[in-house]
Amino acid sequence: MPDGSRKRDKWLRVLMPMAYFCMFAAGVLLFLSDAFAELGPIAYVMGGFLVVGGAASLWGSLTEKWVGEFVGLPLLASSFGVFGVIQAVPAFDAYPLIALANLLLLWSVADLLLGRWRQVKAVSTIALHVSEKERRWNR
């Protein structure tokens, strides 16, 4: 019988916040870098996405609330996609295969983040569906 005490895997409770903290910290470090300003406004938007998305996802994974990852993961996935392009473009002339490999690696991480987002979205659908049904039931 359900008792509401289902616990997530204890390693997941460490690994996920660590990953999100690294993404958040990467965003902060990018803002602190002098070279970052030379990349223009797009880089600032991308850095902002990393910081906001990383912070939201970190909060969500620490408190085990789906809202955090649900809000943060699209920003993180998008910034990984953009970061892949920004990294690959200048290196493409000198090392085309390595640049392409870097691009694919970063895009694959973006893809994994989107995969996790789909899982969280399913939980959000369940939560909304149940609250809606309960509301109708108790009317």
Partner 1 sequence: MESVINTLIIALLGTGGAAFIWAVARSIIAWKNSAELREDKAVARLEKFEASCREDLEFERRVSAYWQRMAGSMEHVLIRNGLEVPPIGSPPQRGSARSV
Q: Which residues bind partner 1 (CB under 8 A)?
A: 1-8, 42, 45-46, 49, 53, 63-67, 70-71, 74-75, 77-79, 81-82, 85-86, 89, 120, 123-124, 126-135
C-alpha 57/C-alpha 71 separation (Å) is 7
Question: C-beta of 119: minimal distance to partner 1 in Å?
Answer: 10
User: Between 30 and 77, whose beta carbon lies closer to partner 1?
Assistant: 77
User: Between 112 and 127, whose beta carbon lies closer to partner 1?
Assistant: 127
Question: C-beta of 59: minimal distance to partner 1 in Å?
Answer: 12
Residue 51, CA distances (Å) to 36, 45, 64, 69, 132 in order: 14, 10, 19, 13, 33
User: Between 5 and 11, whose beta carbon lies closer to partner 1?
Assistant: 5
The pair of three-digit structure tokens given for residue 71, joined into one six-digit string: 């809000």
CA angle in degrees (0–180, nearest 5) for 68-119-135: 75
